[in-house]
Amino acid sequence: MTNRFADAPGIDVAEPVHFQFDNRTYVGYLGDTLASALLANNVRLIGRSFKYHRPRGVFSDGSDEPNALVTVLREGHPEPNTRATEIELYDGLKAWSQNAWPSLRFDLLAVNDWLSKFLTAGFYYKTFMWPARFWEAVYEPMIRRAAGIGRLSDTPDPSVYDKGYLHPDVLVIGAGLAGLVCSLQLAKGGQRVLLVDEHARFGGRLLFSANAKLRPWLDALVEEVLKHPNIQRLIRTVVFGSYDHGVYGAITRNTEHQAADPGVLPKQTYWTISAGHTILATGALTRSIAFPNNDRPGIMTMSAIEAYAVYYGALKGSSVALFISHEEGRRTALRLHALGVNIKAVIDTRSEALPLTEFPYFTGSQVVNTSGRLGLTGIQVRSSDGTFQWINVDYLGISGGYNPTIQLTCHQGAKPKWDLSIEAFRAADNRPDDQRCIGGADGAFGLGDCWQSAIHAAEAILGQSLHLVNPFNESEPLALQSEYVIYGHGPTFVDMQNDVTIKDIQLSHQEGMSSVEHVKRYTTLGMATDQGKHSNVLGLAALAQATGQSIAETGTTLSRPPYTGVSIGALAGQYRDLDFKPTRLTPSHQAATARHASFVEVGNWLRAQWFPLPHEKYWRETVDREVIAVRRNVGVCDVTTLGKIDVQGEDAAAFLNHVYANGFLKLPVGKTRYGLMLREDGIVMDDGTAARLSETQFVVTTTTANAVPVYRHMEYVRQCLCPKMDVHLISTTEAWAQFAVAGPRSRELIARLVACDVSNEVFPFMACAETHLRNGIRARLFRISFSGELAFEIAVPTRVGNAFFEYLLEIGKDLEVTPYGTEALSVLRIEKGHAAGAELNGQTTAKQLGLERIVSQTKDSIGRVLAGRDALQNDTACLVGLQPVTSSDPLVAGAHLVGLGKPIDAAHDLGYVTSVAYSPHCQSMIGLAYLKEGASYRGKRIRAVSLLDHQDIEVDVVSPHFVDPDGERLRV
Amino acid sequence: MRIPHPILGLRDQSEFVYLGDACLLERPDGMQADALQKMTEYAYQRDNCRGLHRELWFHEQGDRAWLVVTRNTVTHEIVKVEFANEVASHD
């Protein structure tokens, strides 16, 4: 215990913690961050920079850190670009430096630093242009290898993430002085407050302050906040984005401060917060000053020096210089000195500042250069009299002013404005009225002003005066005289994470980039993962000096979410892998599983694809058997996934007459009709059947894929276009388990199930009825066919669907009943020439489907008018069947159609194949296709060409109805 | 975004599906002589306005009401929400 100041409030010296950095073991203490522990172990060099591979160390003490990015290993998974300033130390922590090879101290790519004269803004644009073919082959791979910070793991993230929702009256972001005071007053006034802070402890900058007499006051305040029942608290939580209507996004790091994952909490929680009011008590960040060689390890913000020395007790035995331009810097120097920090020198840019006697104090002076290859060894000071001198120091703390942390106020597009009175950007007025800034975020940098602004905000929200006495009556003026850039020899960094220097900004100005937006994109200023928290204002100041404008005239770029990086895993939450979307199971899923069915995803549904028998070795064997079973005997298929919409009301028929292109007014009760639904632009939207169960009730079916959009469309037509009709809709897709029972022996099977007469005379093709099973259970029966065979569809309540499916297969054994899946269903409908999803692809007209004559011209239906426009009417493509000339030739969907002996190019493209299947009926592959002038090609020979599949085969153009073209089997 | 539903109060945008300009409520009569011209304009012509915009949203994960939402396209402020069937009945 030699390397720490005594009584550091942030660490527990009774709890040593062992950790590894770059495979070396060190000791820190409970409460340390990786950054503070490394500094206490005299490790200042932590990484190499992005472009020039310059040695870099810790620059800040929080989420604003641009330099100290490391890779941490957790649960065997490497997480790159983690900020050492935020990693809480735990026993066994393992971290590695990044961007250095072969080692951090000796990095080969540091040669880039020597080449930095050439690697200025726009270097890549200007250099890697010729020869053009070199870009993909040589330049890009080379640049990609050298670029980037850290390396992504190529294995899945093993951690668990979750999502949550919060609805406080007031969201207070930041638990520093302002946030704590405001939360407490709001809570006392009856508001439900959500108080969040990035850190593990409440207190904000006051925790780190060298002003020790404030500590008892802060402790008492925090205790009161922690006890108040109206204040919900989230620590280790960053609010990363502000969205419309008072919605904020936040991430809580639940477990990353602990060694072992306790297994209960997710690693991170992604919160969506809807707040009535939001208070930004986000404080302000110390602003740096740019000067030559200002990036050496050991150079950091003055606030960081304060935090590491006071809160973590580090920097003992090190010499420290401060480079400042305001009175708070002077006061901090005194306090640090009083705590025993070895203040070697204070360089104050202000000529009028009062010097101190406790340590060398340079007024009207600047730091103009630094030394130390792998860490700071000295600073060169230019005194007010123009003389130069070198001072040996280990650390340099900089503060050229303060930047309010107002990024969240920009996310809805409000651009910050430069406020001369605080020499900083302030939140714009045109931001949402439910959002307020207080404390440092509002430019109230002194304690008294900070307290006052918190009280004002609480009073505004509560709508009453609180009559409180400000406990901070001492006036401590800032007396800021901002300093931004000290010009001199050597690289002068404004953006350390992206290695952007003053020279880059001057160069981009010389090359004509005068707007701040251009300079940002040309130099990549502020575009790194720290989003320019430290670099933006310095860069703007440098640009302003180059253009001769003020900072106010130069303006700023707009900060966008996220404030700090958000893991992709946190965005996904639990919605990954199998839980990425819900899985819908068909009613007969259990029975299908018991029969070893293979399943296929259809939207969210899992449908049985085929039902293999033990001796079947190849899926086609199974599917062919199922198809033949339907054509010869009877098969059963679960078709529950097709959308079902119940349409009821006096105007139900008139409504369907408007929605469908064909007529529905005269459909008799007990009959079903095919319905063709068009979009208003005349393209086919969907097709299905509508069964009239009574004068005022229809049951409409949709395709599986369009069940949701069709329901939405029908509600749109009902509510928006036909508001005066007496009609109501409800989706009953999940209420009824529906099965196709298809094949020549289907009537025999159906007759064993239902109580009603299903003879052809009483229940002919397209009949429908509400009926009962023989055991009294409700059922709906439809005589419709997708396979082209004599067929029925029968619907029973979903709860009995699985049992009913089993029962069907049981009582139909003597009829050789066979369960069939979606693949056989598809073969059957292609053989019959029925259009399905592949044909109804959002580009299809009724004419192409050969259904033009059913579009009624005597009524006003959706899509009728525009279906008649020339562009659609002049399209000659129509649905045809294709059969390979050589029966063993394969045919693939997506193949294009070309005439015999014609070149394969767009000009000779005649159409394309939509669906293919092996047809046991034709004993060859068959296909459906859209073919230009299709009618005139009937009986002729063309080619199906798929360059992707290296196929070019001759096919005969035939009727799309390969089976029973006259539809006799349907009607027996 | 949060949409104040006339009955259900503030609802998150994720419960809704957007369709488009509320001018869709004024569908021309498809049986008139100039129907082709009018229907073409109805289906394809839209103003791309800066400021207040009346638009159709469907509360799909809710009560399945179609709503006419008046939204400021610059600020996303929602100034009015009505049931589409009530708006359409008055026309």
A680 and B58 within 8 Å at the Cβ level: the answer is no
pLDDT grade, residue A145 (50/70/90)? low
Contacts of A527 (CB under 8 A, 6+ apart): A498, A520, A521
From A719, which residue of chain B is nearest by alpha-carbon distance? B85
Distances (CA, A) of A144 to A123, A154, A473, A658: 15, 16, 57, 58
Q: Determine contact, residues A127/A236, Cβ cutoff 8 Å.
A: no
Over residues A334-369, the pLDDT tens digits come to 999 999 999 999 999 999 999 999 999 999 999 999
pLDDT reported for residue A124: 65
pLDDT reported for residue A142: 67
Instruction: Tell me, letter by letter, the H, E, C secondary structure of A726-738.
Output: CCEEEECCCCEEE
A715 and B64 within 8 Å at the Cβ level: the answer is yes
ipTM over 0.90: yes
Q: Tokens representing A182?
A: 């405001």
B39 and A680 within 8 Å at the Cβ level: the answer is yes
Residues of B in contact with A723 (CB under 8 A): 84-86, 88-89
Q: Which of A681, A718, A720 sits opposite B56 (nearest CB)?
A: A720
Over residues A493-516, the pLDDT tens digits come to 999 999 999 999 999 999 998 889
pLDDT reported for residue A107: 78
Is A651-731 in CATH node 3.20.20.70? no
From A860, which residue of chain B is nearest by alpha-carbon distance? B30
- Listed by start position, the domains of chain A span 12-128, 161-284+404-462, 287-402, 492-553, 584-641+735-820, 651-731, 830-838+863-971
Distance CA A509, CA A517 (A): 12
Specify the pTM: 0.90
Q: Which of B40, B44, B84 sits opposite A719 (nearest CB)?
A: B84
Is A830-838+863-971 in CATH node 1.10.645.10? no
Distance CA A753, CA A773 (A): 6
pLDDT reported for residue B73: 95
B56 and A716 within 8 Å at the Cβ level: the answer is yes
Distance (Å) from the C-alpha of residue B32 to the closest C-alpha of chain A?
9
B84 and A720 within 8 Å at the Cβ level: the answer is yes
pLDDT reported for residue A130: 66
Q: From the CB of residue B75, how many other CB atoms can be counted at a distance below 10 Å?
A: 15
pLDDT reported for residue A104: 81
Contacts of A39 (CB under 8 A, 6+ apart): A58, A308, A312, A314, A315
Could you identify the residue written with the tokens 């200042």?
A: A44
B75 and A412 within 8 Å at the Cβ level: the answer is yes
pLDDT grade, residue A1 (50/70/90)? very low
| Burial of A32 per CB tally in 10 Å (0-12, 13-18, 19+) | buried
Distance CA A302, CA B31 (A): 78
B43 and A866 within 8 Å at the Cβ level: the answer is yes
The torsion angles phi and psi of A419, rounded to 5 degrees, stand at -110, 110
Q: Do domains A12-128 and A584-641+735-820 have the same CATH topology?
A: no
B35 reaches A (C-beta below 8 A): yes
Distance (Å) from the C-alpha of residue A730 to the closest C-alpha of chain B?
10
**pLDDT of A648 above 80:** yes
Residues of B in contact with A244 (CB under 8 A): 1-2, 76
Determine the topology of domain A287-402 in CATH. Answer: FAD/NAD(P)-binding domain (3.50.50)
Helix (H) or strand (E) holding A508: helix A502-510
Distance (Å) from the C-alpha of residue A133 to the closest C-alpha of chain B?
42
Residues of A in contact with B25 (CB under 8 A): 720-721
Side-by-side strand order, sheet with A584-585: A584-585, A605-610, A598-602
CATH superfamily for A584-641+735-820 is Probable tRNA modification gtpase trme; domain 1 (3.30.1360.120)
A719 and B24 within 8 Å at the Cβ level: the answer is no
The torsion angles phi and psi of A557, rounded to 5 degrees, stand at -80, 170
pLDDT reported for residue A188: 98
**pLDDT of A915 above 70:** yes
From A869, which residue of chain B is nearest by alpha-carbon distance? B36
A865 and B1 within 8 Å at the Cβ level: the answer is no
B25 and A860 within 8 Å at the Cβ level: the answer is no
Distance CA A680, CA A654 (A): 18
pLDDT reported for residue A395: 98
The torsion angles phi and psi of A669, rounded to 5 degrees, stand at -60, 140
pLDDT reported for residue A719: 98
A244 and B76 within 8 Å at the Cβ level: the answer is yes
Q: Which of A412, A680, A712 sits opposite B43 (nearest CB)?
A: A680
Q: Tokens representing A193?
A: 């407050």
The torsion angles phi and psi of A695, rounded to 5 degrees, stand at -55, -35
Range in A523-532, A636-645, A693-702 the model is least confident about: A523-532
Q: What is the overall mean pLDDT for chain A?
A: 94
Q: Determine contact, residues B69/B81, Cβ cutoff 8 Å.
A: yes
Over residues A823-859, the pLDDT tens digits come to 999 999 999 999 998 999 999 999 999 999 999 999 9
Q: Which of residues 49-68 of B touch A (CB under 8 A)?
A: 56, 58, 60, 64-66
Distance (Å) from the C-alpha of residue A300 to the closest C-alpha of chain B?
40
pLDDT reported for residue A147: 63
**pLDDT of A187 above 80:** yes
Distance (Å) from the C-alpha of residue A864 to the closest C-alpha of chain B?
8
B58 and A864 within 8 Å at the Cβ level: the answer is no
Q: Tokens representing A579?
A: 């839980």
**pLDDT of A2 above 60:** no
Pick from B75, B86, B91 the residue to mutate for testing the A interface (most A CBs within 10 Å).
Answer: B75
From B22, which residue of chain A is nearest by alpha-carbon distance? A720
Q: How far is CA A941 from the centre of its chain?
A: 51
Q: For domain A161-284+404-462, which CATH number applies: 2.60.40.420, 3.30.750.24, 3.30.300.130, 3.50.50.60?
A: 3.50.50.60
Q: Determine contact, residues A194/A273, Cβ cutoff 8 Å.
A: yes
Q: For domain A492-553, which CATH number applies: 3.40.50.300, 3.10.450.40, 3.50.50.60, 1.10.10.1100?
A: 1.10.10.1100
Nearest C-alpha neighbor of A915 from the set A845, A808, A841, A965: A841
Q: Determine contact, residues A635/A742, Cβ cutoff 8 Å.
A: yes
Q: Which of A274, A715, A720 sits opposite B88 (nearest CB)?
A: A720
Residues of B in contact with A720 (CB under 8 A): 24-25, 56, 66, 84-85, 88
Q: Which of B29, B40, B43 sits opposite A860 (nearest CB)?
A: B29
CB burial of A934-971 (b: ≥16 within 10 Å; e: otherwise) equals beebeeeebbbbbeeeeeebebbbbebebbbeeeebbe
Over residues B33-57, the pLDDT tens digits come to 999 999 999 999 999 999 999 999 9
Residues of B in contact with A245 (CB under 8 A): 1-2, 10, 76, 78
Q: Which of A718, A720, A866 sits opposite B40 (nearest CB)?
A: A866
Average pLDDT over residues A594-608: 96
pLDDT reported for residue A300: 98
Distance CA A249, CA A173 (A): 11
Q: Which residues of A touch B (CB under 8 A)?
A: 243-247, 272, 274, 412, 680-681, 708, 712, 715-716, 718-721, 723-724, 859-861, 864-866, 868-869
Pick from B85, B86, B89, B90 the residue to mutate for testing the A interface (most A CBs within 10 Å).
Answer: B85
B79 reaches A (C-beta below 8 A): no
- Top CATH class of A12-128 equals alpha beta
Distance (Å) from the C-alpha of residue A645 to the closest C-alpha of chain B?
14
Q: Where are the alpha helices (DSSP H) in A285-361?
A: 302-306, 327-338
pLDDT reported for residue A3: 79
Distance (Å) from the C-alpha of residue A680 to the closest C-alpha of chain B?
7
B75 reaches A (C-beta below 8 A): yes
Residues of B in contact with A859 (CB under 8 A): 31
Over residues A811-825, the pLDDT tens digits come to 999 999 999 999 999
Nearest C-alpha neighbor of A484 from the set A543, A441, A556, A428: A543
B88 and A712 within 8 Å at the Cβ level: the answer is no
Average pLDDT over residues A606-631: 97
Nearest C-alpha neighbor of A29 from the set A45, A40, A44, A42: A40
Pick from B5, B58, B74 the residue to mutate for testing the A interface (most A CBs within 10 Å).
Answer: B58
Distance (Å) from the C-alpha of residue B69 to the closest C-alpha of chain A?
13
B83 reaches A (C-beta below 8 A): yes
Domains and CATH numbers, chain B: 2-90 (3.30.2270.10)
Distances (CA, A) of A673 to A542, A662, A701, A773, A830: 75, 9, 11, 24, 21
Contacts of A877 (CB under 8 A, 6+ apart): A848, A911, A930, A931, A932, A934
pLDDT reported for residue A113: 77
From B34, which residue of chain A is nearest by alpha-carbon distance? A865
Distance CA A654, CA A671 (A): 16
Q: Which amino acid is at A248?
A: Y
More confident residue, A212 or B12: B12
From B4, which residue of chain A is nearest by alpha-carbon distance? A245
Range in A64-78, A271-285, A316-330 the model is least confident about: A64-78
Distance CA A190, CA A193 (A): 9
Pick from A165, A245, A717, A727 the residue to mutate for testing the B interface (most B CBs within 10 Å).
Answer: A245
Q: Determine contact, residues A161/A255, Cβ cutoff 8 Å.
A: no
